[in-house]
Structure 1
């Protein structure tokens, strides 16, 4: 197991390329199960989560090949040899549950393990199941598995209205509806860029989808989908993470492939702290003079609101602000687990339920800290960019699930950071 050691080292300057979006790529990979023709994905991030889902797809009969150093993925599900996604694979990655819709709609039945608990909250799948039932599926739960069966003749288009926004549920419903009989209307649908990109890929495969990016998505079922080549969009969470780096350490960093529309609400909050953001035709440029940031209040919301996946990173920045900030987490109930670790470094954070009050300090000191989840781990690295002395972040296997070569990318702009064996 590795650890990452960060030493406060002054301003950052240079360029960081933004990788393809992990969350998007995972859902695009499941779409390969909808067709017996190949799907080729480009701009694929080289992450452990991608490998994990690839192994699950292979267990179902899908051929998976990584090309061009791992940035291109060729998937071919000519024949689905198994309709069962085993617990040992699904438990490693919640996104694995999104094979349910594609297998069910193509094969007429599917058995998928429930994904189990999660460190940052319950993240139930009841809305996924509700959507599939609306499409006519018969569902039974036995020994931790969902057994789903479509009516004879296939799933049937329906109106699906979610009581609250669910990204995974929306995406499972969309994929299931592509091959259903008739028209499906999804109301209160997720508007995330990940969902939009999935719809774009499915459309390239021959699906008939209207309204992607809005709260109402309409899918007209087709008889079959064909192969396609699709480029994965830039990872907005990696983008926002690296925007925080110069906000904390100071300097000027150009984020290649970054787009403001992917992180508009986040940009607004970051600019309110005194950080400058410039958009070019190929990047976002972030500048900060290194002075203390201004405090801001943040509330996480579904897209296009402030992303829950950037809350921990924003907290790290606000630890250095000149004043009091309040963070309100509305998406996941346990997503302040990074706060005690930041406190070990000298931060002043008071967590009460879904609210965290952050009183900025002039300086923090490096310490030995532990990653509790993916975003928490990177918040500690970001804080270490300005903390005095060494910050040692353990259990960085969390980090490798969502950030590609983070020590190389930050090191290239002047951060003093290295990966070492624990």
Structure 2
């Protein structure tokens, strides 16, 4: 990942400030007690921001999280010619994007290399402008996550796509046309990209084996508010009647279900009690009963969800990551950090990304008893983890290591803070408000 100083992000996101310090120092052994405000969802806000490119009218997004990925995408949109205005919304930070005039060739390689979601620009720019040139996107090193499904779907809609020298160049010389597309796997990114392209394409598009994640529902609902005709929202078959001129919209980003699940695990690990404000437990899908089986109590209340540990304590369970409503891959690493100190044994099988066990070695440094055989991590619970110096390797691993540090004996020093800042809006500060002792430092 490029260092923040490589490209200034302040022009498009004046609220962004690279946090001081190079690491987090987490003092373990303190129960979390208090209220934790769950932010707008990282995985929802990014495609919602890209959707603003489909119309010359202003799109207002409320509850936008102050995270690095939003700052990077804001800069990308601005460089494409969109006007961005930040304000205070009903439920938090609000962003108005007006893409009256956009220039599809002006895409910065350094910015695109920072985030996987930049690939969504491909479908939106093809639909709006008839062409797009995009460097291969970057993001977390958690697996191949190829864009073959994206490209095949766009080609089925009439796009001509070439990939050479790390650059994707796509044109739609006759405009995009509706098509019936069957995804080989329910890819979230491909479903979003094809949905963005289809709403402006001529005719009907059917996306079969579409991903069903709540963030896709959020995108489809916003597009519908803008005037798109989409049926099957929330199912694995999306039918889009394209070719409609889209208007603007005023839309509130859904709460982050991954942040909810992560902090619920942290409350259980520290034997505390946290009100997760603005959260909705039903968004967890099958992760909710899985957490309950492990000893994480989630109580729905008017203001959100209360999370605490069961009086019987934490116990090992078996988990297999699956597309929604299955157990989210983004919750796999936080769940592993929690189960590292649960009674008994757990088996965690990762079916989505082939390199999503990179946090295992870091948890081992803290005393976790974890053995990886193929795609399954076998976890034997220990009484307690011990603080150590660890390195975040991706967004979700960063959160998992914070969680582990909160429950450990002694101090944990977490390096790789860019990963944490990419996906979580002030996580450390919000945890401190719940009683955690966390500081940012420059330990060499």
Q: Give per-residue Cα distances to partners, 1:286-316, cap 9 Å, x unaligned.
A: 1215764111000001111000001000000
The one of 128, 132, 141 aligned to 2:154: 132
Give the aligned partner of residue 442 of structure 2.
421
Aligned partners of 2:387 and 2:408 also within 8 Å: yes
The one of 258, 274, 278 aligned to 2:295: 274
Aligned partners of 1:114 and 1:146 also within 8 Å: yes
Alignment of 1:339 with 2:397, yes or no, is no
Aligned partners of 1:350 and 1:357 also within 8 Å: yes
User: Cα distance, 1:115 vs. partner?
Assistant: 1.4
Give the aligned partner of residue 123 of structure 1.
145
The one of 66, 69, 78 aligned to 2:100: 78
RMSD, aligned CA: 1.4
The one of 163, 171, 175 aligned to 1:141: 163
Matches within 5 A, 1:181-200: 181-200=202-221
**1:12/1:202 Cα in 2 relative to 1: closer, same or farther (>3 Å)?**
same
**1:83/1:283 Cα in 2 relative to 1: closer, same or farther (>3 Å)?**
same
The one of 329, 344, 363 aligned to 1:308: 329
Give the aligned partner of residue 164 of structure 1.
185
> Aligned residue pairs: how many?
421
The one of 410, 414, 417 aligned to 1:393: 414
Q: Which segments of structure 1 move beyond 6 Å, counting only runs of 4 or more?
A: none
Give the aligned partner of residue 25 of structure 1.
45
Distance 1:300 1:347 in 2: 21
Aligned partners of 1:259 and 1:283 also within 8 Å: yes
Q: Give per-residue Cα distances to partners, 1:137-167, cap 9 Å, x unaligned.
A: 1112222212211142x21111010011100
Corresponding residue SS for 1:361: coil
Give the aligned partner of residue 222 of structure 1.
243
Aligned partners of 2:296 and 2:308 also within 8 Å: yes
The one of 97, 113, 128 aligned to 1:106: 128
Alignment of 1:67 with 2:87, yes or no, is yes
Aligned partners of 2:227 and 2:244 also within 8 Å: no
> Structure 2: 5+ residue runs without aligned partners?
1-20
User: Cα distance, 1:175 vs. partner?
Assistant: 0.7
Distance 2:223 2:85 in 1: 20
Aligned partners of 2:104 and 2:133 also within 8 Å: no
Give the aligned partner of residue 381 of structure 2.
360
Matches within 5 A, 1:8-47: 8-47=28-67
> Structure 1: 5+ residue runs without aligned partners?
none
Which sits farther off after the overlay, 218-227 or 41-50? 218-227
User: Cα distance, 1:85 vs. partner?
Assistant: 2.6
Distance 1:260 1:100 in 2: 33
Distance 1:43 1:225 in 2: 22
Distance 2:400 2:139 in 1: 23
Which sits farther off after the overlay, 58-67 or 302-311? 58-67
Aligned partners of 1:83 and 1:103 also within 8 Å: no
Aligned partners of 1:159 and 1:184 also within 8 Å: yes
